[in-house]
Chains A and B, each alone.
Chain A
Amino acid sequence: MTAWMVGVDTGGTFTDLVALNRDSGELRETKVQSVPADPSQAVMNALEELFATGVNPGDVTFFVHGTTVATNAILEGKGARTGLLITRGFRGVYEARGWSLPSAVELIDPFYRKPPMLAPQRLTEEITGRIDFRGEVLTELVEDDVRRAVRRLKTRGIQSLAICFLFSFLNPAHERRAGEIAAKEAPDWRISLSSDVLPIIREYNRLSTTVIDAYVGPLVESHLRRLSDRLKSRGVTTPQVFMMQSNGGLTRISVGAHYPNQLLLSGPAAGVIAGNKLAASVKESHIVTFDMGGTSADIAVSVDGRMGETTTGRVAGQDIGTPMLKVRTLGAGGGTIAWIGRDGLLKVGPQSAGAVPGPAAYGRGGQAPTVTDANLILGALGSTSALAGKLKLDEGCARAALDRVGKPLGLDAVETAAGIIRIVNTNMAIDLRLALQEEGQDPRRFAMVAFGGAGPLHAGQIARMVGIRRVYVPRRPGLNCATGLLQTSVRHTYLQSAVATLSSFPVERMNALFEQLRARALADAAEEGFAATAVQFHFQVEMRYLHQGYQLAVDCPVSFREDDKPALKRAFDTLHRQTYGQSADAEEAEIVSFRLQAEIAVPQFELPVLPHGDGDFLRAKVGVRQLFDTDSEKFVTATVYERDRLMPGDRLPGPAIMQQFDTTTVVLGRQVLSVDSYGALIIDTEAQ
Chain B
Amino acid sequence: MPLDPITTEIISNRLREVRVIQDVEHLSSKL
Which A residues lie at the B interface, using CB under 8 A? 103-105, 107-108, 340-341, 344-347, 409, 411, 418-419, 422-423, 426-427, 430, 433-434, 437
Contacts and interface: CB of A to CB of B under 8 A. Distances in A.
A341 B9 CA distance: 10
A345 B9 contact: yes
B13 interface: yes
B16 A105 contact: yes
Contacts of B14: 426, 430
A437 B25 CA distance: 11
30 contacts: A103-B20, A104-B19, A105-B16, A105-B19, A107-B19, A108-B15, A340-B5, A341-B9, A345-B9, A345-B12, A346-B6, A346-B9, A347-B9, A409-B4, A411-B6, A418-B6, A419-B6, A422-B10, A423-B6, A423-B13, A426-B10, A426-B13, A427-B13, A430-B13, A430-B14, A430-B16, A430-B17, A433-B17, A434-B20, A437-B24
A201 to B, nearest CB: 24
Q: Which of B8, B9, B15, B19 has the most CB of A within 10 A?
A: B9
Which residue, A104, A418, A427, has most C-beta atoms of chain B within 10 A? A104
A19 B4 CA distance: 49
A604 B1 CA distance: 59
Contacts of A340: 5
B17 A422 contact: no
B13 A108 contact: no
B14 to A, nearest CB: 7
Q: Which 6 A-B pairs have the closest CB atoms?
A: A419-B6, A345-B9, A430-B17, A104-B23, A104-B20, A345-B5
B9 A423 contact: yes
Nearest to B15: A108
A418 B16 CA distance: 22
Contacts, number: 51
Main secondary structure, interface of B, reads helix
B6 A422 contact: yes
Contacts of B19: 104-105, 107-108
B10 A423 contact: yes
B11 to A, nearest CB: 9
A344 B2 CA distance: 13
How big is chain B's contact interface, by range? 10 to 19
B16 A108 contact: yes
A418 B7 CA distance: 11
B26 to A, nearest CB: 10
A133 B16 CA distance: 41
Nearest to B22: A104
A345 B20 CA distance: 22
B5 A409 contact: yes
A423 to B, nearest CB: 6
Contacts of B9: 341, 345-347, 423
Contacts of A411: 5-6
Q: B6, B15, B21 — which one has the most chain A CB atoms within 10 A of its CB?
A: B6
B15 to A, nearest CB: 8
Contacts of B8: 345
Nearest to A107: B19
B25 to A, nearest CB: 10
B21 A437 contact: yes
Contacts of A422: 6, 10
Contacts of A409: 4-5
A105 B12 contact: no
Nearest to A420: B6
Nearest to B9: A345
A366 B6 CA distance: 23
A105 B6 contact: no
A427 B14 CA distance: 8
B21 to A, nearest CB: 7
B2 to A, nearest CB: 11
Contacts of B20: 103-105, 434
A331 to B, nearest CB: 13
B6 to A, nearest CB: 4
A107 B22 CA distance: 13
A418 B12 CA distance: 18
Nearest to A108: B19
Contacts of B24: 437
Contacts of B21: 437
Contacts of A103: 20
Given A426-B10, A437-B24, A346 B17 contact: no
Nearest to B8: A345
B23 to A, nearest CB: 5
Given A104-B16, A340-B5, 9 more contacts: A108-B15, A108-B19, A344-B5, A345-B6, A409-B4, A411-B5, A423-B13, A430-B13, A434-B17
A430 B12 CA distance: 12
A340 B4 CA distance: 13
Contacts of A433: 17
Nearest to A580: B31
A301 B12 CA distance: 26
Contacts of B16: 104-105, 108, 430
Nearest to A109: B16
A108 B13 CA distance: 11
A660 B21 CA distance: 39
Nearest to B26: A104
Which residue, B20, B21, B23, B24, has most C-beta atoms of chain A within 10 A? B20
A147 B23 CA distance: 48
A345 B23 CA distance: 26
B12 to A, nearest CB: 7
A664 to B, nearest CB: 24
A409 B6 CA distance: 10
Contacts of A427: 13
A411 B22 CA distance: 35
Contacts of A347: 9
A340 B5 CA distance: 9
Nearest to A409: B5
Nearest to A419: B6
Contacts of B13: 423, 426-427, 430
A340 B8 CA distance: 13
Contacts of B23: 104
A280 B20 CA distance: 32
B7 to A, nearest CB: 9
Nearest to B20: A104
A112 to B, nearest CB: 12
Q: Which of A344, A418, A427 has the most CB of B within 10 A?
A: A427
B13 to A, nearest CB: 6
B5 to A, nearest CB: 5
